[in-house]
A and B are shown apart, each in its own frame.
Chain A
Amino acid sequence: MKEVIQDIIIRNSDDYIINMGPQHPSTHGVLRLELSLQGEKVKYVVPHIGYIHRGIEKMCERDTYQQIIHLTDRFDYLSAHMNNEAVCLNVENALEVEVPERVKYIRTILDELNRLASHQLWWCAFGMDLGALTTFFYGLRDREVILDIFEESFGSRLLHSFNTPGGLMHDIHPNFQKRTKEFIKYFRKKLPEYDQLLSNNVIFQMRTKGIGYMSKEVAISYGVTGPSGRASGFSCDVRKNHPYSAYDKVDFKEILDTTGDTFTRYKLRIAEMWESMNIIEQLIDNIPEGDYTAKMKPIIKLPVGEYYQRVETSRGEMGVFIISDGNKFPVRVKFRTPNFANLFVLNKIGSGNKIADIVAISGSLDLVIPDIDR
Chain B
Amino acid sequence: MGIKIKSMKNEDFLDNSTLETLKETGDNFFLTTIDDIVNWGRSNSVWPLTFATSCCGIEMMAAGASRHDFARFGIEVYRASPRQADVLVVAGTIVHKMVPILLRLYDQMADPKYVIAMGACAVSGGPFFYNSYSVLRGVDQVIPVDVYIPGCPPRPEALLYGVMQLQRKIKSKSITNPNEVEEK
Contacts and interface: CB of A to CB of B under 8 A. Distances in A.
Interface of A: 22-25, 29-30, 50-56, 58-59, 62, 70-71, 74, 77-78, 121, 124, 136-138, 140-141, 143-144, 147, 157-159, 369-370
A102 to B, nearest CB: 29
11 contacts: A23-B51, A23-B82, A50-B95, A51-B98, A52-B54, A121-B58, A121-B61, A138-B66, A140-B67, A144-B62, A157-B62
The 10 A-B pairs at the shortest CB distance, nearest first, are namely A140-B65, A77-B55, A141-B66, A55-B132, A370-B54, A25-B80, A25-B50, A144-B67, A137-B66, A51-B98
Nearest to A125: B61
A29 B57 contact: yes
B14 to A, nearest CB: 29
Contact of B95 (A51, A71, A137, A159): A51
A267 B67 CA distance: 27
Nearest to A51: B98
A143 B134 CA distance: 33
Contacts of A74: 54-55, 128
A159 B128 CA distance: 13
B67 A141 contact: yes
B49 to A, nearest CB: 8
Interface of B: 49-55, 57-59, 61-62, 65-67, 78, 80, 82, 92-93, 95, 97-98, 101, 105, 126-129, 131-135, 152-153, 155
Contacts of A71: 128
Nearest to B102: A23
A77 B54 contact: yes
Contact of B62 (A52, A70, A140, A159): A140
A53 B57 CA distance: 16
Contacts of B105: 23
A59 B51 contact: no
Contacts of B57: 29
Given A54-B95, A77-B54, A137-B65, A59 B153 contact: no
Given A74-B54, A140-B61, A23 B101 contact: yes
Contact of A53 (B49, B65, B127, B134): B134
A29 B55 contact: no
B128 A158 contact: no
Contact of A158 (B55, B80, B135): B55
Contacts of B58: 77-78, 121, 158
B133 to A, nearest CB: 6
B95 A53 contact: yes
A138 B155 CA distance: 20
Chain B interface mostly: loop
Contacts of B133: 55, 58
Contact of A54 (B50, B80, B135, B153): B135
A136 B61 CA distance: 9
A134 B173 CA distance: 37
A216 B95 CA distance: 36
A54 B93 contact: yes
Nearest to B93: A54
A141 B62 CA distance: 9
A55 B80 contact: no
A24 B78 CA distance: 12
Given A29-B53, A30-B53, A52-B54, A157 B97 contact: no
A140 B132 contact: no
Given A58-B133, A59-B132, A157-B59, A52 B65 contact: no
A50 B53 CA distance: 11
A125 to B, nearest CB: 8
Contact of A55 (B49, B134, B153, B155): B134
Nearest to B49: A23
A33 to B, nearest CB: 14
A15 to B, nearest CB: 22
A157 B155 contact: yes
A121 B61 CA distance: 10
Contacts of B62: 140, 143-144, 147, 157
Contacts of A55: 129, 132-135
Contacts of A138: 66
B122 to A, nearest CB: 13
Contacts of B53: 29-30, 51-52, 369-370
Contact of B98 (A30, A136, A147): A30
A136 B65 contact: yes
Nearest to A139: B65
Nearest to B105: A23
A99 B58 CA distance: 32
Given A29-B54, A140-B66, 18 more contacts: A30-B53, A50-B95, A51-B53, A52-B54, A52-B95, A52-B98, A53-B97, A54-B126, A54-B134, A54-B135, A62-B131, A136-B61, A143-B62, A144-B62, A144-B65, A158-B153, A370-B55, A370-B93
A150 to B, nearest CB: 12
